[in-house]
Each structure stands twice: as structure tokens, then as C-alpha cells.
Amino acid sequence: MDAPSPGFPFRWFLPMTQLLVCILLLQPYWSNLRAQVLRLIQRFEQSLQGNDQPRSQPAMVLNVTPDVPTSPQPLDPRLTAPAAFNLPVGFVQAPFVFFSPDKTEWAPEGMLLSEWRALTWPFIGIIFWWLAGRGLEAFSAAAFSRRYAIIRPPLHRIEVALGLCLLALGSVAGLLFALGHNPLGLITDWVLAAGAGLWAVLGAVIVAARLLQWRIRRRARIQGIAYVP
């Protein structure tokens, strides 16, 4: 009897799709981001050659205008959406930010933190999207196959642990933001909060897929049913 087809390749489709979506979202910002990246490369090359120019001290300007309280301008959702799609990158670096002396996330000089996140997180987040794709493949194979008992791909303990962390962190981060709390400063708007909810769901899918695979193995041992590893 022929073995079943591997199913839809979520592990490849999801990372490439999110990268393409992030590129399209950042299209209005590409000229500015490109100029800043070129400036960073030039500054790095100068530091390697030992040609760093001393920074001139800015002139002191007397401010005679009255102080008017201003509220921070909300960020463009197109600039925060790439970070929301790849929020696990922020979860990973949150402990380093928490234990750093200044308690702030690093970004290159002259670049906004939101721009740095939007530029770098989609590429680092490919790893997490690949793992989420494996979870979706395993879940669809174990839950929707009627003719075969399929365990493909077999999820490992580290993937299940990652799924549990995503489920917990995403749920807690989104809930705290909804309640008006933001202890780590990671969730700054509703777009990022929605990203936290998205990754909580993806983490739950990974955990559910591993539970289904455990049930298949258990049923196979009890009833002598053959399963496809």
C-alpha cells in the first residue's frame, strides 16, 4: 500500500510568505531604510579602518517657546506589523533587555527602534515560522487523516517546549496589554498585541499536534494499528 503524501509544506510556505508580506508592508519606507543601512555600513567600514571622525558637539540653542505637553504620535501600523508577525524574536531578547544596565532594547544610532525591528525581525523570525510550519504539518497530518495514522513530521521535545513558551508568553503579553500593563515594554500597540495572540495560537497548535501524535502512538501500541512515522 502506498504511503500518504507528505501534505502541504507549511514549514516552507509560512516563512517565505511572512517575509514577502513584510517587504510589501515596508515599501513606503524602503528609501529611508536603505539610506540608513548604507550609512551603517559606511560607519562600520570606517571603524574597521580606524577612520572614525570625532563627533562635533551640538550647538546650544536657547528654547524660548513655552512648554506644551504633547502626546506621543502613534506609529504607522505598516511599521509595527513586521515586528508583530515575528514577536518571538522580541520574546527571546526580552531577558537580555531586562538585565541590561539601561533596560532598553539596542538599536543602531540614528535609527528608530521600530525601524530596526521592522528591518531585522522578519529575517530572524524565519526560524520561528519554520517551526510553526512543522507544527501545522504535524497537526494537519494527525488530525485530518482518515485512512492512515500519520506522525509526520514527528515533533521533538524542544519543539513542544517552544510551543508551550509561545502559548504562555503570547497569552500573557496580550492580556497584560489589554489590562493596561506593559512590564517589558515589548507590546506598544494593538498590532503587536494581535501578534502576541497569533503566536499564542501557533504555540497551541504545536502542543496540540504533539498530543495527537502521542495518542496515535498509544492507540497503535494498544490495538496493534500501524502508523506512518
| Exposure string over 199-210, b if 16+ CB within 10 A, otherwise e | bbebbbbbbbbb
pLDDT number for residue 26: 94
pLDDT above 90 (res 205) = yes
Where would I find the H helices in 50-181? 77-85, 87-98, 113-124, 126-144, 157-178
Which of 149 and 216 is assigned the larger pLDDT? 216
Task: Report pLDDT digits (tens) over 121-164.
Answer: 999 999 999 999 999 999 998 887 655 566 788 899 999 999 99
Cα separation values, 38 from 31, 33, 58, Å: 11, 9, 24
Amino acid 114 reads S
Question: Between 81 and 8, whose confidence is greater?
Answer: 81
Per the confidence metrics, is the pTM higher than 0.75?
yes
Angle at 133 between CA 178 and CA 123, to 5 degrees: 75
Nearest-angstrom CA–CA distance, 172 and 178: 10
pLDDT band at 201 (very low <50, low <70, confident <90, very high): very high
**CB distance 114 to 80 below 8 Å:** yes
> Would you say residue 74 has pLDDT above 70?
no
Give the Cβ contact number of residue 191 at 10 Å.
19
pLDDT of 119 strictly over 90: yes
pLDDT value, residue 62? 40
- Tell me how far apart the alpha carbons of residues 109 and 117 are, in angstroms, rounded to a whole number: 14
**C-alpha cell of residue 218:** 498509544
Torsion of CA 33, 34, 37, 42, to 10 degrees: -140
State the Cα–Cα distance between residues 121 and 87, nearest whole angstrom: 8
Cα-based torsion angle of the residue sequence 71, 73, 74, 75 in order, rounded to the nearest 10 degrees: -150
Q: Which residues pair with 228 in a beta bridge?
A: 150
Residue 216 pLDDT exceeds 60:
yes
Between 202 and 152, the higher pLDDT residue: 202
Cell of 23: 517587504
